[in-house]
Amino acid sequence: MKSINLLPVILFITLAVLFHSCSSDDTAEPNIPGADRDKYVGSWICTETYSGQAPTSFTINVQKHGEDDTLYVYNFNNLGSPFYAIWLVSGNSVTIPSQNVSGFSISGSGFYVNEKINLTYNSGGYQITAVCSQ
C-alpha cells in the first residue's frame, strides 16, 4: 500500500484560505433603492432670483413619495403649501419634469452640492435660479 503525503495537501489548503482572506473588501456599496433622495428630505429655505428682481426667500418642504426616485416638494416656487412640484432624483442630480403647479407651467433641473440644492427652472415664462439650504 502506498502512503499519501499530506504535507502538500495541507499546504495547498492553507495557502488557499490565506489568499481568500486577503481578497479586497473595497467593493462599492450595493445600490439601495431610494437612498439618493434621502439627503433632500426635510425643510429648506430657498432664495430665488429672476429677471433682475430682488431675491425672494421662502421655505419648501420635501417629502418622499412613491417610487424610489420621486419627491414631492410643497410650496415650490412659493406657490403655497397645499401645492407641490414633483422632483426626480438620481445621485446628486434633480430633474423637475414639465408639470402644472397651481396654474404655472414648471420645468427645470438642479444638483445637490455642499449640503445645498442649486436649481434652475422655468415658471410662468420666467427663468429662475434658486439656492436652497437647511
Q: Is 18 left (phi over 0), alpha (psi -120 to 50) or beta?
A: alpha
Q: What is the pLDDT of residues 55-84, one digit of tens each?
A: 999 999 999 998 789 999 999 999 999 999
The residues of the chain scoring below 70 in pLDDT are 1-34
* Whole-number pLDDT of residue 7: 61
* Whole-number pLDDT of residue 23: 47
Select from 58, 25, 70 the least CA-distant residue to 131.
58
* Whole-number pLDDT of residue 100: 95
The CATH classification number of 39-133 equals: 2.40.128.120
* Whole-number pLDDT of residue 10: 60
Q: Is 25 helix (H, G, I), strand (E, B) or coil?
A: coil
Counts for the chain of helices (H) and strands (E), in that order: 1, 8
* Whole-number pLDDT of residue 16: 56
Give this prediction's pTM: 0.74
Q: Domains of the chain: which residue ranges?
A: 39-133
